[in-house]
Amino acid sequence: MLKRSILLTLAALLLFTAAYAGAAEKEKSAPAPWQGLDFAPELKGTPERIIPLFPQSLSLIYLFNEQKSVVGMPFTKINVSLHKGGFFSQTDRAVMLKKDIGYPGMPNIESLIGFKPDLIITPSNFHMKANGFLDRLKIPQLRVHGTFSTSGHWLEAVENFGKIVNKEEMAKKYIDYFNSTFDMVRGRVKNAASARRIKAAHLVKSGSKYIAYGQKSSFVKSFLNDIGCEVLGFAGAGNAETPLSQEELLEFDPDYIFIESVTHAAGKAKVELSEGYWEKLSAYKNGGIYFVPVDDETCFLTGWYFNLAAPLGILWTAKTIYPEQFKDIDIEKEADKFYRDFLNVDRRKMLSANDLLKQPAEK
């Protein structure tokens, strides 16, 4: 009898493992997963206990001023600094009192369940180890894309989260600003377009490598393409990220190179352009290599190519490529207003505070 019971248990485990593996494989192969609220009937009213398990979902938390509702943070994957005047010191002084809940690839299940969250924000475009477990518990999950997406996906996430936290006016205000900024840029760029499309490459510094292809920058690639650029790696924007190939960069020979040197895991990374092949590029010869602005070098949320501040990144990029068409745009004033209107942050104080930080030098 005991032997039969053991066999039945083993059979059940094998069936569960096979089903889980099949679901994971199906989700990984899906070309464009949906994003939205799963198990919506289980969400009773406005969530008071939120867990942003997906690090990139923190943009939603601070945009909607919901930091007081956050009970756990993905500290394993984000860099947080509380230096005076910095982003977190202005927006979330109590952030370090929250508990670490891991990240999508390695969640702390005990903590996730122990906090009894009303809502967990998870990634929608790749499978995580806890998916099946959380699904069985029917914990409401808002699934979002982050920068593994397009601007449309990001605005959809803003709209959905605004509905969930009953702040639809704030969602509309941000979406309207984003769209009006983008529409203005598109219009001016269209009028300035030449017979040859401007070639642009977007590189992300990751450890000792530069990432030029794949999901890590599909969000940026989409808006560079939308403002009239021929973008390196755009055709494979949804593929797995791969390091920069020197040969392909030389063959593409971009007019402009935009480099991101701040990551959510490590803050600012050291970037050097001393390798011999850089000087062979048109962008290098013509002074077309730029580092993407970031207002707090310890906080990835303030990078202008990240979802939250993307309207500033769009403006800055357009003015960098087409200075005459955007000479009436004061980027600094626009950035000050953006932080004041949407985050209640004094950007000038933040910039002054970060000037005092000792950071690796850019060369």
Q: Per-residue pLDDT averaged across 191-198, rounded?
A: 75
Tell me the average pLDDT of the chain.
82
d(CA 308, CA 235): 24
What's the pLDDT at 1? Answer: 46
Query: How confident is residue 131, by pLDDT bands cut at 50, 70 and 90?
Result: confident
What does DSSP say about strands 256-260 and 229-231: parallel, antiparallel, or unpaired? unpaired
What's the pLDDT at 127? Answer: 62
Percent of the chain that is helix, strand, coil (3-state, to 5): 50, 15, 35
What's the pLDDT at 17? Answer: 38
pLDDT tens profile 50-79 = 999 999 899 999 999 999 999 999 998 898
d(CA 220, CA 229): 11
What's the pLDDT at 59? Answer: 95
pTM metric for this prediction: 0.85
d(CA 292, CA 182): 18
Q: Is 254 helix (H, G, I), strand (E, B) or coil?
A: coil
pLDDT tens profile 147-180 = 777 888 899 999 999 999 999 999 999 999 999 9
What's the pLDDT at 6? Answer: 39
- Provide the sign of the torsion angle of the four alpha carbons 341, 342, 347, 350, taken in this order: positive
Q: Per-residue pLDDT averaged across 88-100, rounded?
A: 94
Q: Where are the alpha helices (DSSP H) in the chain?
A: 2-29, 58-63, 87-91, 109-114, 131-137, 151-164, 168-192, 218-226, 246-252, 282-285, 310-321, 331-343, 347-355
- Whether the predicted pLDDT of 15 surpasses 80: no
Query: How confident is residue 124, by pLDDT bands cut at 50, 70 and 90?
Result: confident
Query: How confident is residue 39, by pLDDT bands cut at 50, 70 and 90?
Result: confident
Report the largest interatomic distance among the alpha carbons of the chain, rounded to a whole angstrom: 84
Taking only Cα atoms into account, the Rg of the chain, rounded to an integer number of angstroms, comes to 22
Q: Which CATH superfamily is domain 2-170 in?
A: Nitrogenase molybdenum iron protein domain (3.40.50.1980)
The packing angle between helices 331-343 and 347-355, to 10°, is 110
d(CA 148, CA 135): 23
Retrieve residue 354's tokens.
């970060």
d(CA 47, CA 340): 26
Q: Per-residue pLDDT averaged across 81-87, rounded?
A: 93
Query: How confident is residue 2, by pLDDT bands cut at 50, 70 and 90?
Result: very low
Lowest mean pLDDT among 30-34, 285-289, 298-302: 30-34
- Whether the predicted pLDDT of 264 surpasses 80: no
What's the pLDDT at 194? Answer: 65
Lowest mean pLDDT among 13-27, 51-65, 90-104: 13-27
Neighbours of 356 (CB within 10 A): 9
- HSE of 64 in the Cβ direction (CA atoms, 13 Å)? 27
Looking at the chain, which residues constitute the CATH 3.40.50.1980 domain(s)? Answer: 2-170, 194-355
Position 95, amino acid: V
- Whether the predicted pLDDT of 206 surpasses 90: no
- Comparing CA positions, the residue from 280, 281, 293, 273 lying closest to residue 361 is 273
What's the pLDDT at 54? Answer: 92
Residue of higher predicted confidence among 117 and 26: 117
What's the pLDDT at 247? Answer: 84
Q: Per-residue pLDDT averaged across 139-154, rounded?
A: 85
What's the pLDDT at 28? Answer: 37
Q: Report which listed range, 123-132, 277-286, 323-332, is most confident.
A: 323-332
- Whether the predicted pLDDT of 240 surpasses 70: no
- Provide the sign of the torsion angle of the four alpha carbons 187, 192, 194, 196, taken in this order: negative
Retrieve residue 10's tokens.
């083993």
Residue of higher predicted confidence among 137 and 257: 257
The CATH number given to 194-355 is 3.40.50.1980
| Residue 234 CB contacts under 8 Å (≥ 6 apart), including other chains | 221, 224, 225
